[in-house]
Amino acid sequence: MSSALPPLTPPPEPVDMPLLAFGSADDEPCLRADAARNRARLLEAAACLVREQGAANLTMEAVAAAASVGKGTVFRRFGDRTGLLTALLDHSEKKFQAAFMSGPPPLGPGAGPVERLGAFGVALLRRTGDELELQLAAEPHPERRFSAAPRRVLHGHVVLLLRQAVPAADCELLAQTLMGYLSPVLVHHLTRQCGMPLERLEAGWLDLVARVTRTDFCC
C-alpha cells in the first residue's frame, strides 16, 4: 500500500468535523483538505465494517457510530446507502491502484514483473475476499464487463507486466486469462459455493502466473 494513503484502520484521534459546512466551500483549499480527510475516514470506517460484517449488513448508522460522527454527517456526505457503497468501491479501487502503481514492491515498482504479477493477484484476491458482496453488486452488465473503467486499469497493468515477462507472447489475451481468474464472480463461486479457502486461490494464482510466464516462481 502507498504510504501517502490513509491506513485501513481509522486514525486514533477523533475528528468529528461539521462536514455540512464544507458543502459549498470548494474554493477554500484548507477546508477542502479537511473535507477530503473526513470523507476518507468515513470510508475507511465503512470498509472495516464491510470486511467484518459483509456489505449486506452495512448501514449509515453503523458507519456513523464507527467513525464517531453523527448519522446526519454520513447522510450529508453520501446521500444514501447506495451512494456510500459506490463511494466505498471507488475509494478502495483508488487505494489499490495507488498501491500497485506507486506503492512499495513487490506489488509496486521495484520487483521483477513475475513477482509483481504474483503480488498483484494475491492482493486483489484478498481485496475481493473482503469486499465480495460489494463487488458482486457492482458487476457491470455483460456488454460492459470487460470495458468498465476500473477493470480496464487492472487489465492494463497486467498487460504491462506480461510484456516485460513474456514479450513474445500475445499478452493481451494472456492478461484476459489472468484477469478471469481474479473475477469476483469466480471468487464467490469458489469460496462461497465450493467452500475453498482463499489461500488455495492465492496458491493457484501463483502457480498460474508461473505457468503462464513459464517460470518456476513460487513464494
Contact status: 153 vs its own copies (CB under 8 A):
no
DSSP-assigned letters across all residues of 152-176: HHHHHHHHHHHHHH-TTS-HHHHHH
In the chain, which ranges are continuous DSSP H helix?
29-53, 60-66, 71-78, 81-102, 113-130, 132-137, 149-165, 171-181, 184-188, 198-212
- Which one among 1, 40, 65, 185 touches its own copies, defined by CB under 8 A? 185
Contact status: 198 vs its own copies (CB under 8 A):
no
Contact status: 133 vs its own copies (CB under 8 A):
no
Site mask, its own copies, residues 154-173, x = CB under 8 A?
---------------xx--x
Residue 74 Cα distances to 77, 102, 106, 114, angstroms: 5, 30, 36, 42
Nearer to its own copies among residue 17 and residue 153 (C-beta): 153
- Which one among 40, 62, 190, 198 touches its own copies, defined by CB under 8 A? 190
- Which one among 9, 53, 102, 147 touches its own copies, defined by CB under 8 A? 147
> Cβ of residue 78: shortest distance to its own copies, in angstroms?
25
DSSP-assigned letters across all residues of 69-86: S-HHHHHHHHSSHHHHHH
- Which one among 2, 31, 208, 217 touches its own copies, defined by CB under 8 A? 208
- Which one among 145, 152, 197, 219 touches its own copies, defined by CB under 8 A? 145
CA 147 remoteness from chain centre: 18
> Which of 136, 127, 60 is CA-nearest to residue 99?
127
Residues 6+ apart with CB under 8 A from 174: 162, 166, 212
- Which one among 101, 186, 218, 219 touches its own copies, defined by CB under 8 A? 186
Site mask, its own copies, residues 65-104, x = CB under 8 A?
----------------------------------------
- Which one among 9, 214, 218, 219 touches its own copies, defined by CB under 8 A? 214
Peptide bond into 106 cis (omega under 30): yes
Half-sphere exposure of 144 (CA within 13 A, CB side): 7
Nearer to its own copies among residue 28 and residue 172 (C-beta): 172
Angle, CA 111 vertex, CA 99 and CA 219 arms, to 5°:
95
Question: Residues interacting with its own copies, by CB under 8 A?
Answer: 136, 139, 142, 145-147, 169-170, 173-174, 176-177, 180-181, 183, 185-186, 188-190, 193, 200-201, 203-204, 207-208, 211-212, 214
